[in-house]
Structure 1
Amino acid sequence: MSRRYVEKKDLETAAEWPTGIYLRLSREDGNDESYSIANQRRWLLDYIAGHEDLKLHKIYVDDGVSGTSEDERAGFRELLEDIYGGKINCVLVKDLSRPFRNSADQTRFLEETRVRYNVRFISTRLPFIDTYRHPETLNMLSIGFQGMMNENHCRETSLKVRDVFDVKRKKGQFIGAFAPYGYGKDPDDRNHLVVDPEAAEVVREIFRWYCKGLSKEGITRRLNGLGYPSPAEYKRRKGLKYQNPHDKYHSSLWTQRTVYEILRNQMYLGHMVQGKQRVRSYKVHERVSLPEEDWYVVKDTHEPVIDGETFRTVQRLLQKNTRTPPRQGELHLLSGFVFCADCQKAMHRKTSKELAYYCCRTNRQSKDGCTPHSIREQRLCGVILKAVQMQVDLTDGLAGLAEEAGRASKPDCRQDRLQALLSQGAEELEKRKGYLKSLYTDMKDGLLSRTEYLDYKSSFESEVDALQKEISRLKEEGAVCEREPARDDSRLERFKRTRQLQALDRAILAELVNKVYVHANGRVEIQFRFRDPYEQILGLEHGG
């Protein structure tokens, strides 16, 4: 229908006004019946019924949406589009607080949009406005005052709501609209999370696959290949009205971003983590990320899906700078662990005639940037495995020694315990000699270079010397303060679990190894994530 604009005196015979009714209920309105969608609809339909010149075109609704931002109000945006497209030329609302909770937006619509598109605007409550019948009402001071009152109400309400939410966050109560993937809301307590068995098992699979060396891209392809619906699609299939802000096309496929967010989410440890983002203000609803120290973290609020050790291993692997070749979903075993000892940059894995080796990336880019470094992957893996096995074996012997030392350190300990400790020290010395012989054999077999052999030999000799000095100290002191060795037991136990280790995997590397440095002469230097075992054990008796 083409528009027809008439003079006020012709109102009785005027053309019909295609009218759009706008309804909005804000979350902040709560259970106020006077503002309910049903109440607004009933009120405005009655108004149209009493005015024959108003012909309803459509009702536009925003239910449970704040009025401070047009971007979040799909109903209001649609109403504006229909105004721009000439489908409606009259807007009917119950009062000014429904379309406007911001005085600037109110002024822009009434003084600019309305005039540019010749729109009739009717507000049925005080202050009553009909820009066609009573255009002079736009000049009333009460309209501008009402706009400021609405904006002030919005500001105060926003602050109150934020305070209430912050109190709940501090208590560890979940305040999100939708539970994280792997959880659901407790039907008896909507602020408490319970495990969703079906989704939680997918989360566990993701963590297991990543620990086994599958890349984020590889995990994404596997999830999609197995037909698992994405978290957003899973929620929708459960009947939830969930919209992923990063997926406007409602895809049911997994993405690397989603996999990464799951691998990083501390909620799976059973901790409540909230307040990662804030809106800039009650007017500007743009969300900004907050530093981690400003998050609300309350531990042990719900059942964990992932154990702490697995989660920590995954975080260490995520910190590694890793890359996978196109269409290859699996990470190389040493990806992110091998570094040049001179320039400290990550070394690059290359293949030549089916042989894999690591080389210095800096030297490949510029001959003057660093000296040449290269080492075959097979040899490097062998050196690392051997070093880990020796550390595990050494830890077993020292753990028993630490237990004896802990008992010997009690105030009422006797000399026979100290003698037993010395005896064990002698046994450890013999064990070191065996290691030395083994090292020599490994050097002869080509597994270790002469430089590496000398380094390990020197290390074991230093350990023997340190043990003997510590035992002497115990004999001189006679009695020391009681100290339980439990503080470092977790690392010792993790070491012991690798006793039968025959091959490396990324989870073991992340648990035990920080970095592996390769020197220009081929010497390998392994930086473990912990102190050397003998230092760790003896530290128990020093109190540190």
Structure 2
Amino acid sequence: MKNNRQSFTTVEKENKITALYCRLSRDDDLQGDSNSIKNQRVILQKYADDNGFTNTAVFVDDGYSCTNFERPDWLRLIALAEDGVIDTVIVKDMSRLGRDYLKVGYYTEVFFPGLDICFIAINNGVDSANQQDSDFTPFLNIINEWYAKDTSKKIRAVFKAKGESGKPLAVNIPYGFIKSSEDKHHWLVDEVAAKVVQEVFRLCVNGYGPSQIATELMKQGHLNPTAYAKSKGIGTPDNRTAGDDYTWQTSTIAHMLSRQEYLGHTVNFKTHRKSYKNKKQVKNDPSDWQIFENTHEAIIDQETFDIVQRIRDGRRRLTLMGEMPILSGMLFCADCGNKLYQVRHRGWEHDKKHFVCATYRKIKVGCSSHQIRNVVVEEILLDSIKKTITAFATNHEGEFVRLVTKKSQARISKLDGIIQRLYEDNIEGKISDERFSKMSKSYEDEQSTLTTRIAELKSTIASENERSDNTDKFLALVKKHINTEELTAGLIREFVEKIFVYNTERVDGKKVQRIKIIWNSIGAFEVPTTTYNEKSA
């Protein structure tokens, strides 16, 4: 190549830079020392010295993929090239520039020639100053891209096998855990950070939204996850910045509140990349996740996690006065099934604040207001928790368990009968032989509807069985709050799944409004002899 090169004759060329570019990816590192940065430097400098290239400058990108062209020193080299500072670019081989056929081709066939920059790939015998040396360059780029694609397939296969085996795929483990020194695939609880995670869930149960939780953590002086990791000497990804060490992002809080890893589970395949060329992570549907339960110690118990998910599913917002009603997201219209929303005005006393049906509030038709004052629901709830459910369940534990079980079993028997009748109707009467033989569209639709209905009923039976089994869990909750005197957002969500509000009716000339409480774990339950769930609004 040296004999075919044009000599440097002008002062301008002598003052320009000869760029020696080195790149090493993690995959290259597995191949041994031949592609090491040190080895590339030696080869490039020797070539420059032997061929009369002076004023050399070394550009190094260590740990960057061959398909990623957003490399710091590569971008610096390109910027200098555009400024007219660079005369020649030398690499060890074409793959050091990259393995993307189109992008590498753009730089070697368009960008560098357009700026009158000579490009040399030593091991491939490529020298753009000699056209014959460059004729084979496009084929080299295609081969290099095929290699990158093949390598990506192999890495994906290894990654998939690892994920399916139950080993965690997360590069950065969730805040609250640390890797075991004995097994990097096993997570241990970081006691300091775990207490903050528990505080986040506790605040959510008590009615705080992500932004309020973030503010509270800052007031309490807790380092945010990035700052905490740095304080422990743990490296953070390049695309993260700590900013204010005590400033928590609401998105971080929201993400923490949904992570099943805090239950002690490993959750793999949450995201994927569409192509080895595109490094952007795309979220997978939760149905595509693979969850391996009880792979490490839990930080949050299942009951607390479930309460938080119900709260998050019914996202609540502050009122215009900056308040978060303790009943927000808990009240539902007994007729249309929509939520009830808080209504209040500046200057109102608490006893004037009330909830109304969202359907009525938005369109005024299709449903009635179902208006009910906050204090009425709060009084009924506290009365039910203290005097009804708690008192009865504590003083008559055996009877309580018997009633809950009997109620569930009665419901199960009724549903079993419905399913049996559906099967009999299907076989004996409602669907004719002609329709069976023709397999008409209407037959298929009816069969589909029948199958769906049976599946729904069986799911309901499973829920009833679960409620019967969860009686002990509810009793434990009752005993935990045996001396409760104050109604809080957290207490409500521990005890109650949802509350249905009925429309106001006139009974014996008086306005009466009924509410129905659906308790966590046991569903709707009324204590015998006295009903506390009915009260005049």
Alignment TM-score > 0.5, same fold: yes
Aligned to 2:269: 275
Which of 385, 392, 397 matches 1:388? 385
Aligned to 1:139: 135
- Are 1:21 and 1:93, in contact at CA under 8 Å, matched by a contact in 2? yes
For 2:389, give the aligned amino acid: Q
1:484-499 matches, within 5 Å, as: 488-499=471-482
1:301-316 matches, within 5 Å, as: 301-316=295-310
Say which is worse superposed, 234-243 or 19-28, in terms of deviation.
234-243
Instruction: Write out per-residue CA displacement over residues 347-394 of structure 1, whole angstroms, 9 at most, x where no aligned residue.
Output: 222335223222234434443353233222111111122333423344
> CA–CA distance in 2 between the matches of 1:487 and 1:343?
29
Give the CA deviation at 1:95: 0.7
- Are 1:276 and 1:292, in contact at CA under 8 Å, matched by a contact in 2? yes
- Are 1:17 and 1:53, in contact at CA under 8 Å, matched by a contact in 2? no
- Are 1:385 and 1:503, in contact at CA under 8 Å, matched by a contact in 2? yes
- Are 1:171 and 1:298, in contact at CA under 8 Å, matched by a contact in 2? no
Question: Are positions 1:500 and 2:483 aligned together?
Answer: yes
> CA–CA distance in 1 between the matches of 2:364 and 2:483?
43
Aligned to 2:458: none
> CA–CA distance in 2 between the matches of 1:507 and 1:148?
61
Secondary structure of 1:335's counterpart equals: coil
Which of 201, 207, 210 matches 1:213? 207
Secondary structure of 2:73's counterpart equals: helix
Question: Are positions 1:103 and 2:101 aligned together?
Answer: yes
Aligned to 1:363: 360
> Using a 3 Å threshold, how does the CA distance of structure 1 residues 331 and 174 change in structure 2: closer, same or farther?
same
For 2:326, give the aligned amino acid: L
Aligned to 1:114: 112
> CA–CA distance in 1 between the matches of 2:293 and 2:60?
40
1:430-469 matches, within 5 Å, as: none
1:179-198 matches, within 5 Å, as: 179-198=173-192
For 1:531, give the aligned amino acid: G
> CA–CA distance in 1 between the matches of 2:149 and 2:182?
33
Aligned to 1:45: 45
Give the CA deviation at 1:206: 1.2
> Using a 3 Å threshold, how does the CA distance of structure 1 residues 331 and 402 change in structure 2: closer, same or farther?
closer
Give the CA deviation at 1:136: 2.4
Aligned to 2:56: 56
Give the CA deviation at 1:534: 8.3
How many pairs are equivalent? 450
Instruction: Write out per-residue CA displacement over residues 23-73 of structure 1, whole angstroms, 9 at most, x where no aligned residue.
Output: 22112223321111222122222323334333223x3332222111324x3
Question: Are positions 1:515 and 2:510 aligned together?
Answer: no
> CA–CA distance in 2 between the matches of 1:165 and 1:301?
19
Question: Are positions 1:347 and 2:350 aligned together?
Answer: no
- Are 1:395 and 1:496, in contact at CA under 8 Å, matched by a contact in 2? no
> Using a 3 Å threshold, how does the CA distance of structure 1 residues 239 and 44 change in structure 2: closer, same or farther?
farther
Secondary structure of 2:207's counterpart equals: coil
Instruction: Write out per-residue CA displacement over residues 64-114 of structure 1, whole angstroms, 9 at most, x where no aligned residue.
Output: 22111324x333233222222333232221111111111122211111111
Aligned to 1:167: 161
Say which is worse superposed, 91-100 or 8-17, in terms of deviation.
8-17
1:214-233 matches, within 5 Å, as: 214-233=208-227
- Are 2:93 and 2:122, in contact at CA under 8 Å, matched by a contact in 1? yes
Which of 498, 518, 534 matches 1:527? 518
5+ residue gaps in structure 2?
411-464, 505-512, 528-537
Give the CA deviation at 1:533: 5.1
Say which is worse superposed, 106-115 or 487-496, in terms of deviation.
487-496
> CA–CA distance in 2 between the matches of 1:21 and 1:174?
40
Instruction: Write out per-residue CA displacement over residues 197-221 of structure 1, whole angstroms, 9 at most, x where no aligned residue.
Output: 2222221221122222222111111
Secondary structure of 2:116's counterpart equals: coil
Instruction: Write out per-residue CA displacement over residues 461-480 of structure 1, whole angstroms, 9 at most, x where no aligned residue.
Output: x98xx8xxxxxxxxxxxxxx
Give the CA deviation at 1:401: 4.1
Question: Are positions 1:74 and 2:79 aligned together?
Answer: no
- Are 1:518 and 1:524, in contact at CA under 8 Å, matched by a contact in 2? yes
> CA–CA distance in 1 between the matches of 2:227 and 2:46?
41
1:195-206 matches, within 5 Å, as: 195-206=189-200
> CA–CA distance in 2 between the matches of 1:194 and 1:163?
28
> Using a 3 Å threshold, how does the CA distance of structure 1 residues 88 and 186 change in structure 2: closer, same or farther?
farther
Say which is worse superposed, 383-392 or 151-160, in terms of deviation.
383-392
Give the CA deviation at 1:161: 1.2
**TM-score if structure 1 supplies the norm length?**
0.75
Aligned to 1:238: 232
> CA–CA distance in 2 between the matches of 1:80 and 1:63?
17
For 2:20, give the aligned amino acid: I
Aligned to 2:143: 149
> CA–CA distance in 2 between the matches of 1:93 and 1:10?
20
Aligned to 1:455: none
> CA–CA distance in 2 between the matches of 1:533 and 1:370?
27
> Using a 3 Å threshold, how does the CA distance of structure 1 residues 204 and 10 change in structure 2: closer, same or farther?
same
Aligned to 1:448: none
- Are 1:17 and 1:89, in contact at CA under 8 Å, matched by a contact in 2? yes
> Using a 3 Å threshold, how does the CA distance of structure 1 residues 118 and 233 change in structure 2: closer, same or farther?
farther
Secondary structure of 1:191's counterpart equals: coil
Cα RMSD of the aligned pairs, angstroms, is 3.2
Aligned to 1:11: 8
> CA–CA distance in 2 between the matches of 1:517 and 1:402?
23
Instruction: Write out per-residue CA displacement over residues 140-189 of structure 1, whole angstroms, 9 at most, x where no aligned residue.
Output: 2xx23322221121112111111212222223323433322112222222
**TM-score if structure 2 supplies the norm length?**
0.75
Instruction: Write out per-residue CA displacement over residues 491-541 of structure 1, whole angstroms, 9 at most, x where no aligned residue.
Output: 343344344333333333323322222233132222334334589xxxxxx
- Are 1:15 and 1:53, in contact at CA under 8 Å, matched by a contact in 2? no
Aligned to 1:332: 325
Give the CA deviation at 1:486: 5.7
Say which is worse superposed, 293-302 or 387-396, in terms of deviation.
387-396
Aligned to 2:447: none
For 2:197, give the aligned amino acid: V
Aligned-pair identity (%): 29
Aligned to 1:93: 91
Say which is worse superposed, 205-214 or 392-401, in terms of deviation.
392-401
> CA–CA distance in 2 between the matches of 1:362 and 1:391?
32
Aligned to 1:408: none
5+ residue gaps in structure 1?
1-6, 406-427, 429-458, 467-482, 536-544
> CA–CA distance in 2 between the matches of 1:297 and 1:344?
32
